[in-house]
A and B are shown apart, each in its own frame.
Chain A
Amino acid sequence: MLKIAVLVLLCAVATHAGCGSLQRLKVKSQWSQAFGVGTDREAFGTALWKAIFAQAPESRDLFKRVKGDDVTSPDFQAHSMRVLSALDQCISLLDDEADLNAQLAHLNGQHDDRNIPSNYFNVMGEAIMQVVPAQLGRCFDRDAWAACFEVISQGVKK
């Protein structure tokens, strides 16, 4: 009985470790693999935005300035790469709390006056949970990703 209790407790600790230091290292390496290089990276971005707009079609209106009606247009592709680049910066800083917070504060300032409904951050998180595992093929740590994306999105939207 005690053994089972200990086991249950250990499992609970393992699944609720959140975005701990080991999770951060894992997300960093999985991201760098999924993010890719060159035109593969653009295709990855296109898949991400398609997943976002499929869940929340009305969110396209936020991206009129960068031609959100056509995700393959050069202006939207450039926008897509800017967003992914910002996410890339945050993920690369996950294991350096002070620098990460400075970067999140900067991104927070950039998003302040755009009036983004906070549920859109969840939409983006869900889209990431779809496209990153598709890119990796295997070994996607969903719990680590969910917890660490939460750290980043909370910092950007607070």
Chain B
Amino acid sequence: MGGLLTPELGELSLTTLTLPIMKVLGAVVLLGLLAYANAGCRCSADDIKQVLQDWESVWGAEFTGRRVSIAQAVFADLFSNVPAAKGLFGRVNADNPDSPEFKAHCIRVVNGLDLGINLLNDPATLESALGHLSDQHAARDGVTAAGFDAISDSFLNILPRVIPGFNGDAWIACFSKIADGISAGLPA
């Protein structure tokens, strides 16, 4: 009888020992996979949907005057936080924010962002577009990666004032992806 029981017990003890080890190993693998997935998943599909919805609610071409007002407000906020930044935009008459040159510039900048936002679902094309924007910014002396952090703050200050129910977390996740792509080749 004992001879028959021993292998059964042995089998049992083997299972009770290996099960926790397997569980731990499994958890380690799972955590690793999650970390990997999150690294590639900043600005998730849900975030993109939310950002597009928030953004398009104010940015369509049919809304007369909205674009200019929002873009001007973002730059006004940037210049009040970082007065030195104004000097970078002398060529487009930043001293006179109501001038047609500066307003047209505002629209170009924020339309560049609109382009990026609408390409979030097509990473290959987004990468090409951000590379092009990065080259355009690298050619301008004084434009820094820190400058992008500052204008990022300005968007966060302004957009909740014009977009009802603005989702800040989704916005930050996706905006940073775009800003990082543009500022990649810039000095800190």
Chain A interface residues (CB < 8 Å from chain B)? 25, 28-29, 31-33, 35, 37-39, 41-42, 74-75, 77-78, 81-82, 85-86, 88-89, 91-93, 95-96, 98-99, 101-103, 106
> Which B residues touch A91, using CB under 8 A?
61
Could you write out 12 A-B pairs with CB less than 8 Å apart?
A28-B62, A37-B52, A38-B118, A42-B125, A78-B126, A81-B119, A86-B111, A88-B61, A89-B108, A99-B100, A103-B107, A106-B104
B119 / chain A contacts, CB cutoff of 8 Å: 42, 78, 81
- The count of chain B contact residues (Cβ–Cβ below 8 Å) is 33
B124 interface contact, C-beta 8 A? yes
Contact in complex: B64, A95 (CB < 8 Å): yes
Q: Does B65 contact A (CB under 8 A)?
A: yes
Q: A78-B126, A85-B114 are in contact. List 8 more A-B contacts (CB 8 A).
A: A37-B52, A89-B111, A92-B67, A95-B64, A96-B65, A99-B68, A99-B103, A102-B100
- In the complex, which residues of chain A have a beta carbon less than 8 angstroms from the beta carbon of B80? none
A-B pairs with lowest CB-CB distance, top 5: A102-B100, A78-B129, A102-B104, A74-B124, A78-B128
Q: Which of B63-78 contact A (CB under 8 A)?
A: 64-65, 67-68
- Which residues of B approach A to under 8 Å, CB–CB? 48, 52, 56, 60-62, 64-65, 67-68, 99-101, 103-104, 107-108, 111-112, 114-115, 118-122, 124-129, 132
Question: Which residues from B are CB-within-8-Å of A93?
Answer: 104, 107
**CB atoms of B61 and A85 under 8 A apart:** no
A106: chain B residues within 8 A (beta carbon): 104, 108
Chain A residues within 8 Å of B118, by CB: 37-38, 41, 81
Among A41, A81, A98, chain B packs the most CB atoms within 10 A around the CB of: A81
Inter-subunit contact A77/B60 (CB<8 Å): no
CA distance A93 to B107 in the complex (A): 9
Write out the residue numbers on chain A whose beta carbons fall within 8 Å of the beta carbon of B111.
85-86, 88-89
A41 to B52, CA, bound (A): 12
Q: Does the CB pair B62–A85 fall under 8 Å? A: no
The answer to whether A77 touches B62 (Cβ under 8 A) is no
State A29–B62 Cα separation when bound (angstroms): 4
Contacts of B107 in A (CB 8 A): 89, 92-93, 99, 103
B68 neighbours in A (Cβ, 8 Å): 96, 99
